[in-house]
Structure 1
Amino acid sequence: MSMHIAAKAGEIAPNILLPGDPMRAKHIAETYLEDAVCFNEIRGMYGYTGTYKGQRVSVMGTGMGIPSILIYATELARDYGCKKMIRLGTAGAYSEKLKALDLVLSQATSTTSAINDHIFPGHYAPCADFELLDKCYHIARERGLPVYVGNTICNDHLYIDNKEEYKKVWADYGVIASEMEGAGLYTVAARYGAKALTVMSIVETSFKPGAKGVSAEDKEKNLKDMILLALDTAID
């Protein structure tokens, strides 16, 4: 047991999915895993281990923002030996090519966070594991899913003024989407010798006042493709 995770040694599989929403973790376990057993309920951050296509897989919520995912990813990798960690979540589009419900694989992540500044004598560039990225991309293409790969921005803030202008600056330098946890996950994975990947579904394409994002119903319909993509990427 670690400080924030109640699991005993061996109760968490080496390969784990990390949605931000703990209720999504519960949904994945109950819907896609066989014989799923709950290993964590501390702070309502549900975690489960079951089997998928005959292999043990775990899934656990991480909350929102870099500090939250840093806690869970660190304890999972350091204390429980997790070796493949795949975040799946939602993102806002910065590239004009992206449409609602397109999938984005984060190849590398820029960030507005200063969370790593005390560690390095320079500016660290967190990036995905290439084997996971390559595997996930080719599975998505084989299934005919709308998938894009590129640099993403891991924001420390969700609500800012003039967000369209802010978005344009990043987009001009090839950043294709925005989310809030990837830089933390990639940094932890590098530190503890794990493989990590962030897989996201686009739920916002415009940040102009009054613009509507993807409905909860459409998110739910799209969820299955992303979950199965992440599961098939996670197994050996």
Structure 2
Amino acid sequence: MPAHGTPHIAAAPGDFAPLVLMPGDPRRARRIAETFLEGARLVTDVRGIFGYTGTHQGEPMSVLASGMGIPSVSIYATELLRHYGVRRIARVGTAGAIPASVALRDVVIASAAHTDSQVGRLPDSGVTLSLAPSHRLLGAAVRAAEQEQPDGGGAVRIGPVFSTDHFYLDRPAVFDTLERRGTLAVEMEAAGLYAVAAAEGGEALAVLTATDHLRTGEQLTAAERETCFARAVRIAADALLAD
């Protein structure tokens, strides 16, 4: 790696911990650094994508924003895993609930990521990969969720999500089909993260908070979105620390 960093990350070698929390929004990255990590210092801010490194429960841990969409998260995850010695990345983001059984503020742990992107297709092979998280991180997140103390938030759900390239996707039949197949929520990054982790030999997991509902039209305000994801961050961080 060049001493000045990668094309999208200005951190020096050793600036990132092996364990990384990855929200989409740079403001969430800063909030996690300020309220969740201890002794956090800014290590990169290229293109306004903030990255910090500190500790959590005495272990080095970093946070880096991914931006929106599969191409963006794929770039940052690849550079972290390939050039900075990162071993595990946990996405902590927002999602739109699909079935009525998932309510606003529920946490969704993504056991698989369906997608309409080409990220799961191997070139010139006709093969589409199954995009799934690290089994170790998934199991650790489920155990962490079971030990969480009730704090007025929603339930924790474990199941597939749909990672789409289209934020304004107006295709109800697609969501009907996905719901019949057990899909819990729609978002825009998990499939890209899982694909990169598989390609680079890393471990990945997505822990999401339902902030919108496709069926009811309910949605949290911008301020609520910024403050309701603490439980997902705790679950994701516990998973990163698992043996």
Q: Give, in whole Å, the separation in 2 of the partners of 1:220 and 1:157.
A: 22
Aligned-pair CA distance for 1:222: 2.1
TM-score of the two chains, using structure 2 as the length reference: 0.91
User: Does structure 1 conserve the Cα–Cα contact (< 8 Å) formed by 2:96 and 2:185?
Assistant: yes
Residue equivalent to 1:213: 219
The answer to whether residue 236 in structure 2 is matched with residue 230 in structure 1 is: yes
Residue equivalent to 1:56: 60
TM-score of the two chains, using structure 1 as the length reference: 0.93
Aligned-pair CA distance for 1:214: 1.5
Residue equivalent to 1:126: 131
Q: Give, in whole Å, the separation in 2 of the partners of 1:54 and 1:120.
A: 46
Deviations, residues 165-193 of structure 1 (Å, cap 9, x unaligned): 33111111221111100111001111111
The answer to whether residue 143 in structure 2 is matched with residue 135 in structure 1 is: no
| Structure-to-structure mapping, 1:125-164, within 5 angstroms | 125-144=130-149, 146-161=155-170, 163-164=171-172
Structure 1 residues 54 and 120: alpha-carbon distance in aligned structure 2, compared to 1, 3 A threshold: farther
Residue equivalent to 1:111: 115
Tell me the secondary structure at the aligned position of residue 81 of structure 1: coil
Q: Give, in whole Å, the separation in 2 of the partners of 1:7 and 1:217.
A: 30
Deviations, residues 95-114 of structure 1 (Å, cap 9, x unaligned): 22101110101111110002
User: Does structure 2 conserve the Cα–Cα contact (< 8 Å) formed by 1:57 and 1:235?
Assistant: no
The answer to whether residue 79 in structure 2 is matched with residue 75 in structure 1 is: yes
Q: Give, in whole Å, the separation in 1 of the partners of 2:239 and 2:99.
A: 25
Tell me the secondary structure at the aligned position of residue 196 of structure 2: helix
- Identity over aligned pairs, percent: 37
RMSD, matched Cα: 1.6
The answer to whether residue 22 in structure 2 is matched with residue 14 in structure 1 is: no
Deviations, residues 102-150 of structure 1 (Å, cap 9, x unaligned): 0101111110002343536111111011111111111111115611111
Q: Give, in whole Å, the separation in 2 of the partners of 1:33 and 1:120.
A: 44
The answer to whether residue 50 in structure 2 is matched with residue 42 in structure 1 is: no
Q: Residue 225 of structure 1 aligns to which amino acid in structure 2?
A: R
Q: Residue 185 of structure 2 aligns to which amino acid in structure 1?
A: A
Structure 1 residues 134 and 116: alpha-carbon distance in aligned structure 2, compared to 1, 3 A threshold: closer
Structure 1 residues 73 and 142: alpha-carbon distance in aligned structure 2, compared to 1, 3 A threshold: same
Q: Give, in whole Å, the separation in 1 of the partners of 2:45 and 2:107.
A: 30
Residue equivalent to 2:97: 93
User: Does structure 1 conserve the Cα–Cα contact (< 8 Å) formed by 2:100 and 2:215?
Assistant: no
User: Does structure 2 conserve the Cα–Cα contact (< 8 Å) formed by 1:101 and 1:219?
Assistant: no
Superposed structure 1 runs of 4+ greater than 4 Å apart: none
Residue equivalent to 1:171: 179
User: Does structure 1 conserve the Cα–Cα contact (< 8 Å) formed by 2:106 and 2:156?
Assistant: yes
Unaligned runs of 5+ in 1: none
Moved more, 19-28 or 222-231: 222-231
